[in-house]
């Protein structure tokens, strides 16, 4: 390699080293933001194409691909730390909203009841959502790690597709059953639905989440493919 070529290679390496931390900050921020936005909008049950669906369904699947980008940039252990911290942040957010909803409203502020009705957390949905997020994304981490270490580091779209294809159904199952299923001691809960309705929710959400996953696949290419932190 000539001196000129060596200098060019050094410049490229420095550029990558500078870009990686910046991209990592952006992706981590986007991941936490998408998690929180999905949890908040899950409180709204909308009607899309004639079917009832929680509105967090359209944003949450993006977090799986963002998690894969974090894994690619910062390694397995840092991705696991991010997943746990996101769960803690979402739990704190729900607790804070619960407290804020319970604080008496100033008489001059006429929207206290509306605030509580909209943002006051439904704890069954909150717990089911956080459990589903943490469990499924930890599984996503293991599948992604297995693919890039045991199968191939080529075909970046495939590593995202395979890991998400395993983790998204797990997330959907835990959430649908946990939030709406007739589980022991929850048969008479006001959120409990007939099992036929629960499976309809599961099926529709799975279709939407998988569709969003396919759209978000290109996100994996926003960072250099060095896998330098895979063992971190």
> What gap in Å lies between CA 73 and CA 227, rounded to an integer?
7
CATH (residue range 19-222): 1.10.1760
pLDDT digits (tens, 9 = 90+) for 120-134: 889 999 999 999 999
Reported pTM: 0.86
Looking at residue 19, what is its pLDDT?
60
Residues counted in the chain: 232
Looking at residue 14, what is its pLDDT?
47
pLDDT digits (tens, 9 = 90+) for 56-107: 999 999 999 999 999 999 999 999 999 999 999 999 999 999 999 999 999 8
Among 3-7, 97-101, 122-126, 165-169, the range scoring the smallest mean pLDDT is 3-7
Secondary structure E strands in the chain: 45-48, 51-54
Q: What does each C-alpha distance from 42 to 7, 33, 115 come to in angstroms?
A: 52, 14, 16
């Amino acid at each position: 390699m000539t001196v000129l070529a060596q200098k060019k290679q050094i410049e490229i390496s420095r550029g990558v080293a500078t870009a990686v931390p910046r991209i990592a900050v952006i992706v981590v921020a986007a991941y936490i933001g998408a998690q929180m936005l999905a949890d908040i909008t899950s409180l709204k049950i909308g009607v899309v194409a004639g079917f009832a669906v929680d509105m967090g369904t359209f944003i949450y699947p993006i977090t799986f691909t963002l998690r894969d980008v974090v894994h690619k940039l910062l390694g397995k252990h840092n991705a696991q730390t991010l997943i746990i911290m996101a769960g803690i942040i979402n739990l704190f957010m729900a607790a804070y909203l619960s407290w804020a909803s319970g604080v008496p409203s100033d008489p001059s502020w006429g929207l206290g009841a509306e605030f509580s009705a909209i943002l006051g957390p439904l704890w069954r949905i909150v717990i089911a959502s956080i459990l589903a997020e943490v469990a499924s994304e930890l599984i996503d981490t293991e599948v992604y790690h297995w693919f890039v270490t045991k199968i191939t580091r080529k075909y970046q779209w495939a590593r995202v597709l395979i890991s998400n294809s395993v983790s998204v159904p797990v997330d959907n199952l835990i959430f649908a059953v946990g939030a709406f299923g007739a589980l022991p001691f929850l048969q008479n809960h006001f959120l409990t639905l007939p099992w036929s309705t629960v499976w309809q929710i599961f099926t529709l959400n799975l279709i939407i989440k998988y569709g969003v996953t396919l759209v978000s696949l290109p996100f994996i290419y926003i960072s250099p493919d060095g896998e330098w932190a895979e063992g971190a």
